[in-house]
Amino acid sequence: MSAILNAVGVTKLYIRGAETVRALDNINISIERGDMVAVVGPSGSGKTTLLNMLGGFDKPTNGSIYLKEFEISNMKEKELNLIRRKEIGYIFQNFHLLPTLTVRENISIPLIFSGKKEDGRVERVLEVVGLSNRANHLPSQISGGEMQRTAIARALINDPEILIADEPTGNLDSEMALSIFNLFNSINQQEKTIIIVTHNLELAKKCRRCLHIKDGRIE
């Protein structure tokens, strides 16, 4: 295995008025290709901030993030977008679904940007997350768990090398959570790298590796 993602001395400060929040404090991590990593820690410990850095959605205040040979923390937005679309599927903590588009359309958006062919993959992914019968609904017409599964399907549609998921099972009952986790597991068997934030310690234990974050530091 070789490292696919590296965080080197990553610090992230958020300035809120007179207050500075040290959300990440000198983090060093190396994630191997094909690894399955759980990120756990209390609310506010910096998990989402870390995922945003690893996924190239935000830049560190100090330090560097490398995706393969690319220093993504230093990259211009345009170039970064191309790499991100190709390499990363990202499941946001609050889904980020577009409210005026149906489930099927939301899932299809990354295809438009990547230029990949719709070779039936939308139906396949809908099937995988169990949403075939909800494909024509708007986000406002489906449940929280179904929104979560829509976000998961959208992250899978381009078949990315790296899947980054912020609490992907947070709104799901234990049976659905386990089935989504098993789906991630099977994706991981295909040499894909998976990073998931979870409060579910049962699921975290099943990952190959577990990173504990507290106060912006890895314990």
Ligand X SMILES: Nc1ncnc2c1ncn2[C@@H]1O[C@H](COP(=O)(O)OP(=O)(O)OP(=O)(O)O)[C@@H](O)[C@H]1O
Q: From the CB of 38, what's the least distance to ligand X, in Å?
A: 13
List Cα–Cα distances, 128 to 30, 152, 180, in angstroms: 30, 10, 9
Pairwise CA distance, residues 207 & 19, whole Å: 36
* Binding window for Mg ion (CB under 5 A); candidates: 6-14, 39-47, 149-157, 202-210: 39-47
Cβ distance to ligand X smaller for residue 43 or 190: 43
Phi and psi torsions of 130, nearest 5°: 70, 40
Closer residue to ligand X, CB minimum distance, 61 or 185: 61
- Tokens of residue 218, six digits: 């890895």
Q: How far is the CB of 136 from ligand X (least distance, A)?
A: 31
Length of the chain as a residue count = 219
Q: Least Å distance between CB 49 and ligand X?
A: 3
- In the complex with Mg ion, the residue whose CB is nearer, 48 or 148, is 48
Per-residue x/- marks for Mg ion, 85-104, CB under 5 A? --------x-----------
- Our CB check for ligand X shows the closer of 16 and 76 to be 16
Q: 3-state secondary structure string, 156-191?
A: HCCCCCEEEEECCCCCCCHHHHHHHHHHHHHHHHCC
Q: Which stretch binds Mg ion (CB under 5 A): 45-53, 55-63, 118-126, 151-159?
A: 45-53
Q: Is 87 in a helix, a strand, or coil? A: helix
Query: What DSSP assignment string belongs to 91-154?
Result: E-TT----TTS-HHHHHHHHHHHHT---SSHHHHHHHHTT-GGGTT--GGGS-HHHHHHHHHHH
Chain positions contacting ligand X, by CB under 6 A: 14, 16, 21, 23, 41, 43-49, 93
| Residue 46, binding choice from ligand X, Mg ion, none, Cβ under 5 to 8 Å by partner class | ligand X
| Structure token pair of residue 3 | 């490292």
Q: Could you give the CA distance from residue 2 to residue 92 in angstroms, rounded to a whole number?
A: 26
Residue 48 interacting with Mg ion (CB under 5 A):
yes
Residue closer to ligand X, measured from CB, 39 or 103: 39
The site for Mg ion, by CB under 5 A, has a size of 3
Q: Which CB sits closer to ligand X, 131 or 172?
A: 172
Residues near Mg ion (CB under 5 A): 47-48, 93
